[in-house]
């Protein structure tokens, strides 16, 4: 596996939540720097040595509500 993708959303209570697509990896962070460090750690823990993806892509999801 060369790449892994994460969906990143702002948490209701503050900070960010991230979920990997196609893998059982979930993590969170108080800010973007904290989140990125936690994602790197989670990916390294999840995969065996030598099988860690070389690229981690973050897709930011922002939900907005508008009223009619």
Task: List, for residues 7-56, the tens digit of each pLDDT value.
Answer: 999 999 999 999 999 999 999 999 999 999 999 999 999 999 889 999 99
Question: Would you give the distance in Å from CA 54 to the centre of its chain?
Answer: 15
Please give the average per-residue pLDDT across 53-66, as a whole number.
Answer: 94
> Which pLDDT does position 63 carry in this prediction?
84
**Dihedral angle computed from the Cα positions of residues 6, 10, 12 and 17, in that order, rounded to the nearest 10 degrees:** 30
Query: How far is Cα 55 from Cα 40, in angstroms, rounded to an integer?
Result: 10
Query: What pLDDT sits at residue 3?
Result: 96
pLDDT at 64: 85
Structure letter (DSSP) for residue 41: H
Which pTM was predicted? Answer: 0.88
Q: How confident is the model at residue 58 (pLDDT cuts 50, 70, 90)?
A: very high
């Amino acid at each position: 596996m060369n790449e892994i993708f994460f969906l990143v959303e702002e948490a209701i209570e503050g900070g960010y939540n991230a979920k990997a697509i196609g893998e059982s990896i979930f993590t969170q962070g108080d800010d973007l720097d904290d989140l990125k460090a936690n994602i790197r750690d989670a990916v390294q823990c999840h995969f065996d040595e030598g099988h860690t993806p070389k690229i981690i892509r973050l897709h930011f999801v922002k939900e907005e509500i508008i009223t009619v």
